[in-house]
Structure 1
Amino acid sequence: MKFKLIIASVPDTRTDDIVDAARAEGATGCTVLTNARGQGLKKTKTFLGLDLTGARDVVLIIVEQHLARRILERIGAVGQMDASPGAGVAIQIDVEDAIGLGTQMKTLQSEIEDEI
């Protein structure tokens, strides 16, 4: 089985919606890294050295490759990532090797067999 890693950087107010959308499309779990920071095209404003941008989270999701594009598109739609600057970004990359997915393999195999 081949896997993809989906990485989404989103405002913390949308994290739960992103995770729920990924699960609805077949993701079996995720890791959320909180309090991330980032910059887009324009430098963010500060007030007395304090960053005025909202908190961001990074969501990491390992999925079977056949589900990856559908999950990525759903995350983009739910997060309204193309609607405005700062709404978030999501990418997918190939996973060369992984361990620790043994407990999820049966679920993944049955879902993929249903898809194919």
Structure 2
Amino acid sequence: MDFKLIMVFVDQERTDIVLDAARDAGATGATIINNAQGRGHKPHYTFFGFEFMGARSVVLILVEASRSRGVLDAVCAAGKLDESKETGIAIELDVAQAVGLQEHIEFLRQQPK
């Protein structure tokens, strides 16, 4: 079975919405890394001159390749990723090998595509 890894970088308040959309689109699970921070091309300064870096989540979703486009589209819409440059991004990566997935593979074989 071929897999894709979808990585979603989104504001923490949108994490649950993104997770629900991914599951509804066919994802069987995800790993969430909270409190990630990053910088854009232009710093955002607050009062006192401190740079503001809001808390983000990194959502890692390993999906069967034939379901990846639907999941990617769903998380993009749910996270409102195309609304502005501040809402987040999602990327899809090819997975050369994955182990520890036997139960997931059996579950996926029983599901309609």
What TM-score results when the alignment is normalised by the length of structure 1?
Answer: 0.90
Q: Which runs of 4+ in 1 moved over 6 A?
A: none
How much does 1:51 deviate? 3.9
What is the aligned partner in structure 2 of residue 63 from structure 1? 63
What is the aligned partner in structure 2 of residue 92 from structure 1? 92
User: Residues 53 and 101 from structure 1, CA distance in 2 versus in 1: closer, same or farther, beyond 3 angstroms?
Assistant: same
Q: Is the 8 A contact 2:39 2:53 kept in 1?
A: no
Bigger mean CA deviation after superposition, 1-10 or 51-60: 51-60
Measure, in 1, the Cα distance between the counterparts of 2:18 and 2:5.
15
How much does 1:109 deviate? 1.4
In structure 2, the residue corresponding to 1:19 is in which secondary structure? helix
Task: Tell me the amino acid that sits aligned with residue 99 of structure 2.
Answer: I
Q: Unpaired segments of 5 or more residues in structure 1?
A: none
Measure, in 2, the Cα distance between the counterparts of 1:65 and 1:50.
43
User: Residues 103 and 49 from structure 1, CA distance in 2 versus in 1: closer, same or farther, beyond 3 angstroms?
Assistant: farther
Task: Tell me the amino acid that sits aligned with residue 57 of structure 1.
Answer: S
Task: Tell me the amino acid that sits aligned with residue 22 of structure 2.
Answer: A
What is the aligned partner in structure 2 of residue 12 from structure 1? 12
Alpha-carbon RMSD:
1.4
How many pairs are equivalent? Answer: 113
How much does 1:52 deviate? 2.3
In structure 2, the residue corresponding to 1:62 is in which secondary structure? strand
What TM-score results when the alignment is normalised by the length of structure 2?
Answer: 0.92
Measure, in 2, the Cα distance between the counterparts of 1:25 and 1:37.
27
Q: Unpaired segments of 5 or more residues in structure 2?
A: none
Task: Tell me the amino acid that sits aligned with residue 102 of structure 2.
Answer: G
